[in-house]
Structure 1
Amino acid sequence: MRGEVLHYDEDQGFGFITGADGNRYTFARENLRRETSMAKGTLVEFQPGGGKARDVFSVREQTADPAADAAPSQSTSTPEAPKPQHFGRFAENESAAATGLWDYFWRGLIENYFNFAGRARRKEYWGYCLFWTIALLVIGGIGVFIDDAMANLDELPAVTVGLCGLFLLATVLPWLGLNVRRLHDLGLTGWLVLLFLIPTFGGLILLVFALFPTRGRENQWGPVPAGVRI
């Protein structure tokens, strides 16, 4: 499989590759076909398996002409350098994605619905929460209006409860994914999202985490989110 090096620590001999399938793979020095520099952005080929990349080698090394060093070049023109290729979610983040509050909310419902990988900056978190709350109020208002017209408010406001319940069920996965990515942005494990299972206290802890600013350096969950000043 072809992929791109996201990060490689020469001292520790450990790094990450994002594959053409959009998944991230770990690799170590012993997984390299030959000892070579693996700078960020290096295009590589590798064998995926169990979340790890094996038999990793640089595409440039593989495609180099073996006869180039044996015979002098017949042309004096300089070959055009290959354009870098990018794969996966982090490649999408490198494009000029909008960073407005509404844009974060919309991408949370569309592109990041099942996304529990990567990082989410503080603005993304609160932009999603803002428009999620507005949407819930609008849906609740519509339900109250219909229940009032059907004279249900004196008993069980079934339409209001039903509409709000469906909205909550539809948005629970992107909301969990957002919290996991927010924890990743702070360099914390996403499993801390399970603190929500602790009544009141756990939710308050995660709310405090959501107030912290982005850590301005790349970590094991990806590069610094777009739009963050380092």
Structure 2
Amino acid sequence: MRGEVLHYDEDHGFGFITGADGNRYTFAREDLRREASMAKGTVIEFQPTGGRARDVFSIRAQTASPSADAPAATAAPTQTGNAPVAPQHFGRFAENAPATDLWSYFRRGLTENYFNFSGRARRKEYWGYCLFSTIALIVVVGVGLFVDDAMGHLDELPAVTVGLCGAFVLATIPPWIGLNVRRLHDIGLTGWLFLVVFIPTIGWLIILVFALIPTQARENQWGPVPAGVRA
């Protein structure tokens, strides 16, 4: 995954990376593929493992040699200073930025975020996962009922339906918990608050309220503002 160094302490060999997925990852000196400068703003590639970045290495920007007909200046000054902004830098992140549609959030929830309990999840990610997981459960129930009907089990215990639904629920518990933890992080709260779900009667209502709160539109201790959110 493509990312950018937020901070690296050379003395202690420890730092933070913001990934193209909008999440923040920690890394240490032993995670570097090769010794290189890891100054703030360095563009890197890495392998995400939960909240840890592995196999980290910096990417050297390739600049084309100027031609005789090319204009002398190719970058415009920023609004906050006179230093030019390299368009290649932002182009690389645009090409590698994660998709922010509902299906992509659901797909990543079952793949790279399956055991991810760090970082942040915006409201769209939360409800996108809820939408497609509900659709998937309906499909699983439909398949189970069809098989049970064909086997003549509907008049008794629909064993296939119960088995398929049980397997689906068990398989989706880790990403569901991780999603709720990241949603709490996104609004500036600790993920341990997800334990309120075990409060009888009102636990799920409290979780619903947390899920509806807008994203904290600034970087917090759990990472930068998720991709696609206007800060």
TM-score (normalised: structure 1):
0.64
CA separation of 1:191 and 1:93: change in aligned 2, threshold 3 A: farther
Question: 1:16: how far off?
Answer: 5.9
1:18 and 2:17 matched: yes
Indicate the SS of the match to 2:6. Answer: strand
Indicate the SS of the match to 1:160. Answer: helix
Structure 2: which amino acid aligns with 1:141? G
| Structure 1 contact 121–185 (Cα < 8 Å) conserved | yes
Question: 1:205: how far off?
Answer: 0.3
Question: 1:199: how far off?
Answer: 2.4
| Structure 1 contact 94–226 (Cα < 8 Å) conserved | no
Question: 1:115: how far off?
Answer: 0.5
Q: Which residue matches 2:150?
A: 149
- The correspondence of residues 1-230 of structure 1 with structure 2, limited to 5 A, is 5-6=5-6, 17-18=16-17, 23-24=25-26, 41=41, 95-230=96-231
- Partners in 2 of 1:190 and 1:93 — Cα distance? 30
Structure 1: which amino acid aligns with 2:227? A
Structure 2: which amino acid aligns with 1:17? F
1:73-119 Cα offsets, whole Å, 9 max, x none, are xxxxxxxx9x98xxxxxx99993211110110001001100100100
CA separation of 1:19 and 1:178: change in aligned 2, threshold 3 A: closer
Fraction of identical pairs, as percent: 70
Question: 1:42: how far off?
Answer: 5.6
Q: What residue ranges of structure 2 are gaps of 5+ in the alignment?
A: 9-13, 29-37, 44-50, 52-57, 59-85
- Partners in 1 of 2:125 and 2:18 — Cα distance? 25
Larger Rg: 1
| Structure 2 contact 18–224 (Cα < 8 Å) conserved | no
Question: 1:149: how far off?
Answer: 1.0
CA separation of 1:19 and 1:107: change in aligned 2, threshold 3 A: closer
| Structure 2 contact 105–129 (Cα < 8 Å) conserved | yes
Structure 1: which amino acid aligns with 2:221? Q
| Structure 1 contact 6–222 (Cα < 8 Å) conserved | no
Q: What residue ranges of structure 1 are gaps of 5+ in the alignment?
A: 9-14, 27-37, 44-50, 52-58, 60-80, 85-90
CA separation of 1:16 and 1:194: change in aligned 2, threshold 3 A: farther
Indicate the SS of the match to 1:17. Answer: strand
Question: Aligned-residue CA RMSD in angstroms?
Answer: 3.4
Count of residues in correspondence between the two structures: 169
Q: Which has the higher contact order (CA 8 A, sep 6+)?
A: 2
Structure 2: which amino acid aligns with 1:133? T
Question: 1:25: how far off?
Answer: 6.3
